Amino acid sequence: MPWRLAVAAAIVASTALGATLLHVRATTAGDDETLASRGLLFPLKDASRAIFRDNFEEGRPGHRHEALDIMAPRGTPVVAVDGGRVAKLFTSVAGGITVYQFDRDEKYVYYYAHLDRYATGIAEGKWLERGEVLGYVGSTGNARPVAPHLHFTIFRLGSDKRWWKGKAVNPYPYLEAR
Ligand SMILES: [Zn+2]
């Protein structure tokens, strides 16, 4: 290739790379860089049986979803995406059997809902290792019994660190490839 063409090709290539890097940086701006650096595990142990796509922005009756629904057979083990202690074990009308887990800095909460049941030994305050089974996929709360799934999201906590008052952050970009 004549050198002029080679230089032109190199400029095009570096511009495309630069645009890609800028895009990555834009989607992980602010304190979300923390999440990007964590290498969060996929929250189901048997990922190959899960149907996974980004449905964070979808509408749900009366509100924006602000979570990922990961369809999987009932009883599929749900694992902690990161190390951190259990903030709260809570049963609600909408979420059914749920786990709220702090991240290690207690700046974020990982929220797992519609569980069929908790794993043995799970308790509030207990430290969960990354990958530790915390419960099993189910359809408790307002999930349809014929469509068991894990409802998973991340909440960024305020300075008061109240587990039930976070702002939802889309986990999709931060979960490790299956
Ligand atoms: Zn959901």
Q: Over its length of 178 residues, how does the chain's per-residue pLDDT go in tens digits?
A: 555 554 444 444 444 444 444 444 444 455 578 888 888 999 999 888 888 889 999 988 888 999 999 999 999 999 999 999 999 999 999 999 999 999 999 999 999 999 999 999 999 999 999 999 999 999 999 999 999 999 999 999 988 888 888 899 999 999 876 5
Structure tokens at 9: 């090709």
Distance 64 CA to ligand 1 centre (A): 10
Cβ–Cβ under 8 Å, residues 178 and 48: yes
DSSP string across 87-134? EEEEEETTTEEEEEEE-TTSSEEEEEEEEEEEPTT--TTPEEPTT-EE
Kindly state whether residue 95 falls inside one of the protein's structural domains. Answer: yes
Q: Quote the CA–CA distance of 75 and 35 in Å, as a whole number.
A: 28
In a domain, residue 147? The reply is yes
Q: Report if residue 85 sits inside a domain.
A: yes
Q: How far apart are CA 69 and CA 51, in angstroms?
A: 9
8 part of a folded domain:
no
Total number of domains in the chain: 1
Domain that holds residue 45: 28-174
Q: Is residue 84 part of a domain?
A: yes
Determine the distance separating the centroid of ligand 1 and the alpha carbon of 4, expressed in angstroms: 55
- Rounded CA-CA distance 114/96 in Å is 5
Domain membership of residue 133 (yes or no) is yes
102 Cα to the center of ligand 1, angstroms? 20
User: What's the Cα-to-Cα distance from 140 to each of 33, 40, 64, 66, 93, rounded to whole Å?
Assistant: 33, 25, 20, 18, 9
Centre of ligand 1 to C-alpha 63, Å, is 11
Tell how far the Cα of 81 is from the centroid of ligand 1, in angstroms: 17
CA of residue 61 to ligand 1 center, whole Å: 11
68 CA distance to ligand 1 middle (Å) = 6
Looking at the whole model, is its pTM more than 0.85?
A: no
Quick one: pLDDT at residue 52?
87
CA 90 to ligand 1 center in whole angstroms: 16
**Domain CATH for 146:** 2.70.70.10
* 15 domain-assigned: no
pLDDT the model gives residue 23? 42
Q: Which residues pair with 111 in a beta bridge?
A: 100, 153
Does the residue 122 lie in any domain?
yes
